[in-house]
Amino acid sequence: MIMQRELTHPNALYIHIPFCIKRCSYCDFNSSVYQPDVASRYVAALEKELGGVKDHPYKTVYIGGGTPTAMKEGQLNQLLSAVSSSLDMRRIKEYTVEVNPGTVNARKAALLRWGGVNRISLGIQSFKEKGLRLLGRIHSRRDALDAFSVLREGGFNNLSVDLIFGWSGQTLMDWEEDLTEVLSLDPEHLSAYCLTVERGTPLARQIRTGSVPRPDEESQLDMLKKTINFLDNNGYKHYEISNFAKKGYRCRHNVNYWKNLPYVGIGAGAVSYLNGRRTSNIRDILSYIERIEAGRSAKTFGERLTPRRRAAETLMMALRMTSGIKEKNFTVRTGFTLRELYGDVIDRLCVLGLMGIRQGRLYLTRKGVFVADSVMMEFL
């Protein structure tokens, strides 16, 4: 049973580091090329913002980006120290940092361990040199393998690897080889994302001008099917559309998002969801720093979600998880019954074989997962 306290007390803290060594061609995240002096001011601003949100009962911390490990050791150290001295670390069950190959060595790995980090999300994306080139990554396959072993040898026993499939020119065989190679590393968790071509990115321009072919949707679907079967058969439970974990290694931080429970985000462009209100910080890095330095709030957007909107979001987020949502829990979280809001839609999607109900739980079937985006639209 979900307690009311869970709805008002954020368990998850996200810290955004908007710096990378170089921008990847497909990326539309809020990040820019690392500049040491800007990063120093940014970390100081983060420390200040953290001071205002440190008293919540967090159970997970996630430092993402960007590439947190693009920063110099001194800056990383300052950030990690700020986190561990501000929060009650005894409560923190999962503390993740995103790392990209080419930005981590034994000293940085040791620093992360020292700072209390117990989980790493490593952005390998592909082991194929042609894929890495097309995606504009800074690293080679060798760098990715080295980064993984440095982290393992550094004492991390909860490693997650990100891979991307469905890029132009990738064959099903290429993807199978990437999956086989990642399994040989034996990570505890895997995220496999289908490439989406975001507007305004260099990749979108390359496709528009014809220098790169458009990714083929049918092969992307084949790759998704392959991924689910392959990883399921190799001990990784498919627990969210793009996420797979060995037993006991689901990402608690992200599960908090998928349950539509409150969270706090700090840093440029970071979003928070608290007491039914969604707010976000200014996206521009220098404007963020200047606001915080001047003692002003970094928030530039806020909206209170209507109960109906919150209910729709709760359902759509929950359906991302293969376990779906218990009808009873939906009611506790939103005050509505599934039937009163979506009875007809659910019946129709069940008849189409896209959704199912088992022991009071509504979930997407395998067929539904393959067209998840269209299914979700039905609830808006």
- Asked if 23 is part of the footprint of ligand SF4 (rule: CB under 6 A), the reply reads yes
Q: 24 vs 112, which CB is nearer to ligand SF4?
A: 24
- Comparing CB distances to ligand SF4, the nearer of 198 and 217 is 198
User: CA nearest 2: which of 329, 254, 304?
Assistant: 329
Tell me how far, at minimum, the Cβ of 284 lies from ligand SF4, in Å.
16
The answer to the question of residue 24 lying near ligand SF4 (CB under 6 A) is yes
β-pair partners for 274: 277
- Of 124, 126, 51, 46, nearest to 87 (Cα)? 51
Amino acid at 111: L
Rule CB under 6 A: say whether 100 interacts with ligand SF4: yes
Minimum gap (Å) between residue 164 Cβ and ligand SF4: 9
Instruction: Tell me how far, at minimum, the Cβ of 202 lies from ligand SF4, in Å.
Output: 10
26 or 58: CB nearest ligand SF4: 26
Q: Tell me which DSSP letter residue 218 carries.
A: H
* Nearest approach, Cβ of residue 254 and ligand SF4 (Å): 16
> Which residues sit opposite 271 in a β-bridge?
280
The position carrying tokens 């947190």 is 68
The minimum distance between CB 23 and ligand SF4, in angstroms, equals: 4
| Calpha distance 230→261 (Å, rounded) | 31
**Do the Cβ atoms of 164 and 125 come closer than 8 Å?**
yes
Least separation, in Å, of the C-beta of 197 and ligand SF4?
13
Q: Is 157 exposed, middle or buried (0-12, 13-18, 19+ CB in 10 A)?
A: exposed
Q: Which is nearer to ligand SF4, 60 or 100 (CB)?
A: 100
Q: Which of residues 29-68 bind ligand SF4 (CB under 6 A)?
A: 29, 31, 65-67
What minimum distance in Å lies between the beta carbon of 221 and ligand SF4? 23
Residue 15 burial (C-beta neighbours within 10 Å; 0-12, 13-18, 19+)? buried
Count of residues touching ligand SF4 (by CB under 6 A): 11
DSSP characters over 295-361: T---EEEEEEPPHHHHHHHHHHHHHTBTT-EEHHHHHHHHSS-HHHHHHHHHHHHHHTTSEEEETTE
12 Cα distance to chain centroid: 13
Window 217-236: residues binding ligand SF4 (CB under 6 A): none
Q: Which stretch binds ligand SF4 (CB under 6 A): 18-26, 166-174, 267-275, 342-350?
A: 18-26
What length is written for the chain? Answer: 380
131 forms part of the interface with ligand SF4 (CB under 6 A) = no
Using the rule CB under 6 A, give the single segment among 20-28, 188-196, 249-257, 296-304 that binds ligand SF4.
20-28
Binding ligand SF4 (rule: CB under 6 A), the pick from 20, 83, 109, 182 is: 20
To ligand SF4, the closest distance from the beta carbon of 64 in angstroms equals 9
The residues binding ligand SF4 (CB under 6 A) are 20, 23-24, 27, 29, 31, 65-67, 100, 123
